[in-house]
Structure 1
């Protein structure tokens, strides 16, 4: 069965973006790029909610703009991914992206049973909350940055139930970041 990993960089106080959507506090370095490259080699599917999709569409992560810039990652080596966009309000998606407006948890649990590599859940907590509730998330991976934002977009939304986790990795990255990966105990 395929593994769904919910992961992102976050502030020490648990935000993935500032209250104005700012991500200028993110630290990218060669070891972060190495971690990202290794991770992306293990996945072939990306899941995004509407808000994350709209935010990502507004970012410019082209290879030409990121080479040599410590503030943004070099994503030029990222292989093509099957992308699913989850929304109850959108009626269409860009070419090459599949729009899912049905039960997200059921869809992802069925997707996990299909052949393929790992599945990456990107972004904020709305979609993650429904997937946690459906038991569809298998791992949580955080790159915790040494900054307190005070407010913003939370990595986790309030959950209806307690979710037990088991630490599988913890290590320090350049810039004082700490990478932590947890397995969800189903």
Structure 2
């Protein structure tokens, strides 16, 4: 069965964006993008690079982790404001929104229904894993459905902002199993955690 993987960049103090929810890696952003970070993405997670970045870096590898990406409306609109209606044309792209009534791109699927039900259906389909890109609100709604966390931990703090999970997540303490880690010279750490399988 496919897994839902929350693959996301986070600060040491647990934030994925600033208080305004804007793109922290954009032209006015505060998030550092070291060269070794970009190189690691291009080789280890090429499918997670947006289409324009893939073109600029001459990346053609379709990747081995994901073939589907899901995101919330606010995260999707960051790309829209930058003039990119489908940042991941090489992946099946679903956007959860109850307010968008028409997709800005024919390849982007709008989903107005329950994210949990949709993700459970996706997990039953054939294919690679499903990438949850964010944001924190959708991640909070899908908290119980996340099978794996891949945190791109940046060696920075910002004090306040958009947390990894919004308060839509139920209080449900759980311990994750560290299954892989890569620490780059720049200090960025790629940490992979699996949700332990319940004992029979």
* 1:31 positional shift: 2.6
* 1:43-93 deviation per Cα after TM superposition (whole angstroms, max 9, x unaligned): 1100010011001223478xxxxxxxxxxxxx9xx7711111101121121
Report the Cα offset of residue 121 of structure 1: 0.5
- Aligned residue among 153, 159, 184 for 2:162: 153
Higher mean alpha-carbon deviation, 166-175 vs 114-123, is at: 166-175
Residue among 70, 73, 76 paired with 1:47: 70
Partner of 1:65: none
Tell me which of 186, 192, 195 is aligned to 1:175: 186
SS in structure 1 at match of 2:153: strand
RMSD: 2.2
Shift of 1:99: 0.9
105-114 vs 152-161, which moves further = 152-161
Could you list the runs of 5+ residues in structure 1 that have no partner in the other structure?
62-74
Contact residue 27 and residue 175 of structure 1 kept, 8 A: no
Asked whether 1:119 is paired with 2:125, we answer no
Count of aligned pairs: 169
* Equivalent residue for 1:81, pick from 66, 75, 91: 91
Taking structure 2 as the reference length, what is the TM-score of the superposition?
Answer: 0.76
CA contact (8 A) 1:44 1:82 kept: yes
User: Which of the numbers 137, 141, 147 marks the counterpart of 1:138?
Assistant: 147
Taking CA–CA contacts closer than 8 Å with sequence separation of 6 or more, which of the two structures ends up with the larger relative contact order? 1
Structure 2 Cα separation of the partners of residues 80 and 38 of structure 1? 7
TM-score, with length taken from structure 1: 0.81
